[in-house]
A and B are shown apart, each in its own frame.
Chain A
Amino acid sequence: MKRKKNFNLIIGTVLTGLMLLLIVTGLFFLPYDPETMDIELKFAGMSPAHPFGCDNYGRDVFTRVMVGARTTLLVALGTVGIGAGAGILIGAFTGYFGGWVDEVVMRIIDALFAFPSILLALVVISLLGNGKLGVISLLLGSGKYQVILALGIAFIPSFARVVRSEYLKQREMDYVKNARIMGCGHLRIMFVHILPNIMPVLIPTVMIGFNNAVLSEAGMSYLGIGVQPPDASLGRMLSEAQTYLFSQPSYALFPGLTIVLLVLGFSLLADGLEER
């Protein structure tokens, strides 16, 4: 029997692998210092020494893309971590137990869901920025990674809803009833029995959430409220490159292309996993 080839999975894996390779390499080796300015290289074009050219401060764009992709990936991972972590907890408890707690929590989640995630993140950022949540800012360092927390909170509702609906379905299944008869505790049933069974739904959700997080980070930094200069992130680079869109198109092209490949890779990977 010949199995149909899963192209999505193959291309997705290759793209994601490439991106991860770029990012991991950047941890150990960078062609240039990402922040050192050089007036001689201001707007230098593409060359073997600088494959992506240089930006308005003479910084190597390739180096900054490597660092920027790392920042963006880190922010996206953190965002999904917070969002999925809290989302699974909330979804599991409300879906499994139901009752009035479920009603109340889900209405709150619905209300949060009504806001666009960027707007919600903006609110969190402005709260953190004013130092009203001093402890959290302190934990996250000087505001550099505030954006992770902000986006993470904004992402909780979408995860919570998916997880809850799955738990609602699963709790009526025979294996759950069996487990209960055999005397398993609620927590054990929730996380040892049910959780592995909702993975086929959860994984694509996480993947899509991850993509949204990459795009949201880019969007936030583009608006100037995410990663602060001179740190590189793909969104921040795009925002800075916008001014030079016509005189130095390569400056905007490469960070943009990197975002596209990163998102595309993960999308295909998610699709491929689902197909399997």
Chain B
Amino acid sequence: MKKKHLKALLMIVLSLALTLTACSGKRQGESTESQITIGIPQDVEDSLDPHKAVAAGTEEVFFNMFEGLVKPDSDGNLNPAVASDYKVSEDEKIYTFTLREGVKFHDGSLVTVEDVKYSIERCADTSEGGPLVAAFSNIVSVNATDDKTIEIVLAEPDADFLASMDTAIIPASNTTPESVAIGTGPYKFVSHAPQESFVMEKFDEYWGEAAHIDKVTLKVCANTDSIVMNLNGGSIDMFSRLTATQVSQLNNNFEVLEGTMNLVQALYLNNGVEPFNNEKVRQALCYAIDKQYILDMTSDGHGTPVGTSMFPAFGKYYMPELADYYTKDVEKAKALLKEAGYPEGFSFTIKVPSNYTPHIETTQVIAEELKAINVDAKIELIEWETWLSDVYSGRKFEGTVIGLDASSLTASSMLLRFNSDSSKNFINYSNPEYDAAYARAVGTTNQEERTAAFKECQQILTETAANVYIQDMAEFVAINKKYAGYEFYPLYVQDYSKLYIVGEE
């Protein structure tokens, strides 16, 4: 009897010992690979095609996997990437790029001029409506002059053309770019579990400075309320774009960096529907709102008030004086509403994507401020996917609070969408004066004239109160002190390749 017990005990101890060794063995295996888990507010789009990505949240992730002939850096300069050098002809009509030698795609093949030609022509293709990259409508031809030189001929001179050359270069042999992601970036695609995670791995044969961390896992944190808990609990190591209140609750494990988001947060109004097709109504809303008050209420005063569709990172194009064009004046707002035929006010619905806490908070303050002029703003929280399909693509909305960013650091990337015939003009803004000023800006090679014309565009947007402009939001990045190297970009991108583990590099 006793012996039996002993045997059983021995068995248990042995099996326990076995399991334990197995565990520790696994743990050792994991620690050889450095990794970071980063929270993102919304899922990356289903399609992995970099040319067809529309959401900023997708583009900022793809920045790590795909590169163009040139690539922006954190100071806003465009540096040669897949191309090693470029020349611009004097009339700014012919751009000649020399391919960098030995640049490899994630599948191991070398980048050839055919791939470049394919990628550019794919984005310039107009067979399905407009070209994928708006600036490419200007391209006359793309010629491979020899096996490492490519020449792009434009119909009209375009000084900003280079900025759109950050368009991803993808292999011509990849027939299914929407499901197979092959680029030249420092990270390559591993897996994507919708609504859950997006995993990337360091690309060992990257042409430039290789990434420091082997594996980057992006975790979708659609419920904004739980972000602080996820950070404090350690299930995510980093989160960009936190609000001031969220930051104040983080524990000591985090380094908090402050920058600006480089976007224009505004109450975007559908200029195509009643009552916002009336300029006076839009102006009345502008007069009813105190931007600084919103900042104080939602972010303890952090952020930069803006008055038009342009943010400070744009430097010479940015007009800070427009931020004060409308100062809060309830009486004037009421008078304008009366002139417009709404002496009793009116009610409308603001649709807000439910995963963006900052936009929801701003909306609540706006709704409260609008009560002073008898405008009843109802708030409707909708899912991000619904926002994309109904508000952005379908244009079925009255007002929405969102931040619009620039896909490249050119004035046109912010201002193109307000042309009356632009496919991105989801607010249905239509103003011949604006169209004329914009056409003048893109039609000239003279830098001064160009800047002046773009400024005129902004001025028109502000004067006609296209939208109720609010701010370029303060961006707080919380990063676990185990990691460092985060860099702010003047664009809406995240560069994971610069991150490293403290003490290892």
B336 within 8 A of A: no
Are B297's CB and A42's CB within 8 A? yes
**Mask of A209-252 contacts with B, CB within 8 angstroms, 1/0:** 00000000000000011001110000000011011111100000
Instruction: Known A57-B297, A244-B249; judge A37-B365 contact (CB<8 A).
Output: yes
Contact with B along A134-148 (1 / 0, CB 8 A): 000000001100000
B390, chain A: closest CB distance, angstroms: 9
Contacts A243-B245, A243-B246 hold; do A228 and B378 have CB atoms under 8 A apart? Answer: yes
Report if B368 contacts A (CB, 8 A). Answer: yes
Q: A271 an interface residue at 8 Å Cβ cutoff?
A: no
Chain B, range 343-391, C-beta contacts under 8 Å to A: 349, 354, 357, 360-361, 363-365, 367-368, 371, 378-382, 386
Any B CB within 8 A of the CB of A35: yes
Q: How does the 8 Å CB contact mask read for A44-76 relative to B, with 1 for contact and 0 for none?
A: 000000000000111000000000000000000
A230 touches B249 (CB 8 A): no
Smallest Cβ distance from B237 to chain A, in angstroms?
19
Check A39 for interface membership: any CB of B closer than 8 A. yes
A36 contacts B by Cβ under 8 Å: yes
Interface of chain B residues 269 through 302 with chain A (CB within 8 A): 293, 296-297
Cα A229 to Cα B296 with chains together (Å): 20
Interface assignment of B175: CB less than 8 Å from any CB of chain A: no
Query: Which residues on the A side are within 8 Å of B228 (C-beta)?
Result: 243, 246
User: Given A39-B296, A229-B381, A243–B364 Cβ distance below 8 Å?
Assistant: no
B57-79 interface with A by 8 A CB criterion: none
Question: Contact between A229 and B225 (Cβ–Cβ < 8 Å)?
Answer: no
Assembled-state Cα–Cα distance A242/B228 (Å): 9
Whether B28 is near chain A, meaning CB under 8 Å from some CB there, is no
The minimal Cβ–Cβ distance linking B10 to chain A, given in whole angstroms, is 47
Contact yes or no, A230 B248, CB < 8 A: no
Q: Which residue of B lies closest to A58 (CB)?
A: B297
Band of interface residues on A: 20 to 34
A-contact 0/1 string along B381-422, CB 8 Å cutoff: 110001000000000000000000000000000000000000
Partner of A39 from B229, B297, B379 at Cβ < 8 Å: B297
Bound state CA distance, A129 and B293, in angstroms? 32
Residues in B neighbouring A243, C-beta threshold 8 A: 224-225, 228, 245-246, 249, 357
- C-beta contact mask, A28-48 vs B, less than 8 Å → 1, else 0? 000000011101001000000
Instruction: With A56-B245, A243-B246 as known contacts, state yes or no: A35 contacts B368, CB within 8 Å.
Output: yes
Residue B84 CB within 8 A of the other chain: no
- Expressed in whole angstroms, the Cα–Cα distance for A240 and B249 within the complex equals 14
Q: Are A229 and B379 in contact (CB under 8 A)?
A: yes
State A229–B228 Cα separation when bound (angstroms): 21
Q: B226 at the A/B interface (Cβ < 8 Å)?
A: yes
Which residue of chain B lies nearest to A223 when distances are taken between CB atoms in the complex?
B223
Q: Which of B293, B296, B381, B386 interacts with A224 by CB under 8 Å?
A: B381
- Please tell me which one of the listed residues A39, A129, A225, A230 contacts residue B364 in the complex, with CB atoms under 8 A apart: A230
A residues less than 8 Å from B249 (CB atoms): 243-247
Kindly list chain A residues whose C-beta atoms are within 8 Å of the C-beta of B367.
230
Assembly CA distance A237 to B368 (angstroms): 17
Within 8 A of A (CB), among B239-283: 245-246, 248-249
Known: A39-B296, A243-B357. A229 touches B349 (CB 8 A): no
Query: Looking across the interface, which residue of chain A has its beta carbon closest to that of B228?
Result: A243
Across the interface, do B368 and A229 meet the contact criterion of CB distance under 8 Å? no
Q: Is the pair B368, A36 in contact by a Cβ cutoff of 8 Å?
A: yes
* B368 in contact with A37 (CB, 8 Å): yes
Assuming the contacts A37-B368, A39-B296, A42-B297, asked whether A242 and B379 have C-beta atoms less than 8 A apart, the reply is: no
A49–B361 Cα gap in the complex (Å)? 25
Whole-angstrom distance from the CB of A132 to the nearest CB of chain B?
A: 13
Is the Cβ of A39 less than 8 Å from the Cβ of B380? no
Docked-complex contact B368 and A247, CB < 8 angstroms? no
Q: Which of B248, B357, B361, B379 has a CB less than 8 Å from the CB of A247? A: B248
Smallest beta-carbon distance A164→chain B, Å: 37
Distance in Å: Cβ of B104 to nearest Cβ of chain A: 45
On chain A, the residues within 8 Å of B360 by CB distance are 229
| In the bound complex, CA of A244 to CA of B354 (Å) | 18
Distance between A188 CB and nearest chain B CB, rounded to angstroms: 47
Nearest CB in chain B: distance from A165 CB, A: 39
In the complex, chain A residues whose CB is within 8 Å of the CB of B224: 243
Cα A243 to Cα B226 with chains together (Å): 7
* Minimum Cβ distance to chain B for residue A161 (Å): 33
Instruction: Given the known inter-chain contacts A56-B245, A243-B225, A244-B245, please indicate yes or no for A37 contacting B297, CB distance below 8 A.
Output: yes
What is the minimal beta-carbon distance from B480 to any residue of chain A, in angstroms? 18
Closest residue of chain A to B363, judged by CB? A229
Question: What residues of B have a CB within 8 angstroms of the CB of A245 in the complex?
Answer: 229, 249
Taking each of A35, A37, A142, A224, which has the highest tally of chain B beta carbons within 10 Å of its own beta carbon?
Answer: A224
B364 and A57 contact, CB distance less than 8 A: yes
Can you list, as one digit per residue, whether each of B184-200 has a CB less than 8 Å from chain A (1) or not (0)? Answer: 00000000000000000
Shortest distance between the CB of B232 and any CB in chain A (Å):
8
From A143, A228, A230, A244, contact of B368 by CB (8 A):
A230
Distance between B369 CB and nearest chain A CB, rounded to angstroms: 9
A52 CB → nearest B CB, Å: 19
Q: In the complex, which residues of chain B have a beta carbon less than 8 angstroms from the beta carbon of A229? A: 360, 363-364, 379, 381
Name the residue of chain A whose CB is nearest to the CB of B300.
A42
- By a CB distance below 8 angstroms, the chain B residues around A246 are 228, 249
B246 contacts across to A, CB distance below 8 A: 243
Report whether A143 and B380 are in contact in the complex, using a CB–CB cutoff of 8 Å.
yes
A-B contacts, 11 of them at CB < 8 A, read: A37-B297, A37-B365, A57-B297, A57-B368, A228-B379, A228-B381, A230-B368, A243-B246, A244-B249, A246-B228, A247-B249
Q: Which residues of B contact A (CB under 8 A)?
A: 224-226, 228-229, 245-246, 248-249, 293, 296-297, 349, 354, 357, 360-361, 363-365, 367-368, 371, 378-382, 386
Top 9 A-B pairs, shortest CB-CB distance? A242-B225, A224-B354, A246-B249, A37-B368, A229-B379, A243-B225, A247-B249, A230-B364, A224-B381
Chain A interface (Cβ < 8 Å from any Cβ of B):
35-37, 39, 42, 56-58, 129, 142-143, 224-225, 228-230, 239-240, 242-247
Beyond known contacts A39-B297, A228-B379, A247-B245: 18 more, CB 8 A cutoff: A35-B371, A37-B368, A56-B245, A57-B364, A58-B297, A142-B349, A224-B381, A228-B378, A229-B363, A230-B368, A230-B379, A242-B225, A243-B225, A243-B246, A244-B245, A245-B229, A246-B249, A247-B249
